[in-house]
Structure 1
Amino acid sequence: MANILVVDDEMGIRELLSEILGDEGHAIQLAENAQQARDARAASTPDLVLLDIWMPDTDGVTLLKEWQRDGLLTMPVIMMSGHATIDTAVEATRIGALNFLEKPIALQKLLKAVQQGLSRAQEVVRAPAIAARPMMAAQVEESIVTGAAMFASTPQPAGISARVAGLPNGEGHGSNLSFDLPLREARDAFERMYFEHHLGREGGSMTRVAEKTGLERTHLYRKLKQLGVEPGKLAKKGQ
């Protein structure tokens, strides 16, 4: 049994998470805003914190920064939000968040993230928590670089390299991502080649791609539509 602090300004979310995690045998403490979360952290150190990003008094990322600054980020923190951007999720991870869950949170994703968080807490007991946080950020950066390198060395469906480079009709150099693009365009380009890579490898199977990328199918469909990626065409080219 673990002591879990749930911080969310929505009563329905607090009650739902409390019920689910309570059924798993955990002791749940609830906070509806950042100040209550501060008080709870000052009173004792929870084994895990589920922290909403958007709250009326102080947002979750700011609270995370406070705990990190004051040496209080000694427990795994999982961020939650239904409106956060990728930039926000990456920033929270750099500060020290262990994971990020998008609302509405699927039951299996919640339980898996909580289990991973509690397992990580046991692993880092023997090492200073402050040393683990920079390593976590470094791992995020390394995974992005490694992913780009893997993409560059893997044969891709025609047309991807040109779009990633931001040049028409195959005028780009290989699959290099142009750093001259504005941040949003560069991020969209990387996400586009990331999903096209997985769709090509999985023959266009949305089920397998959802499993590989860790996204719900509905979220995956929305993301592909937003990026202008057509799974059907990639499936044909991968055959």
Structure 2
Amino acid sequence: MESKKVVVIHQIRESMTNLEDTIEHYRPDYLFLISCMHNIRDKPDFARLEVERKNARVLGPNVKHIEYAKLIGIEDAWHHTTMMEVFKILGEIKQECEELAGEDNCEYYVGLSDGTALITVGISFAAVLHGMKTYFTRGRRSYYDEEYVIEVENLNKITEIKNWLESKYNTKENLKYLRAIINLEDCGESSISSAKIADMLEPYTQKAVDNAMNVLLKKGLIEKEKKEDQEVKRNRTFYSTDLGKLIIKLNPE
């Protein structure tokens, strides 16, 4: 069975409870704390110390599971270079984790809460580019039913598609079918069948188009509508989703 290391990259400024809830939720092997240098000597440095002490009273029992922890300071949270600095730091973290993990794979989760200014904006941007999932840890309220950590579904879906497209050399071939649908939509077509797509992408067969449609449907890049009184395999029309349109914009021909 393939083993993996869970990596949490958590922004911290003030909230120790956010950190505790995040550790409880993800049970990380590696923990990286990120803070603006202006705040780093306060709660962030205290959090690092409590992680190193494996202080379960402060950070919960799963803190004992952490193999490696590091506190990273970002010099300026409001500078025009901040976003690129964050991108660079996440890349360095990824490289360090791959070296630490050896033959194990790493799964990355990056936090958007308790952050400072452009650091949070940079993390949202950099996480997608580095193929990392994002989460938000919200403050403790009774109406959250102890579900304090939520994954940012829209960003994570983009990350998932990006990782899928990069997983094999021919995976991006699926995008030509998605482009065909969007092009037909742009031309005013409202009833787009696999036969119509096959005509547009000749010499590709209708069977090849059907197979590609099934892949795109599973990835949430298109949706389908059924037509009544038609042959089962040919009774579908397709339209692109907002996610599909965005992925095409991110992957121009």
TM range (shorter): 0.3 to 0.5
Q: Which has the higher helix share?
A: 1
Give the alignment's TM-score, normalised by structure 1: 0.34
Structure with the larger RCO, 1 or 2 (CA within 8 Å, 6+ apart): 2
Give the alignment's TM-score, normalised by structure 2: 0.32
Q: Which has the higher strand share?
A: 2
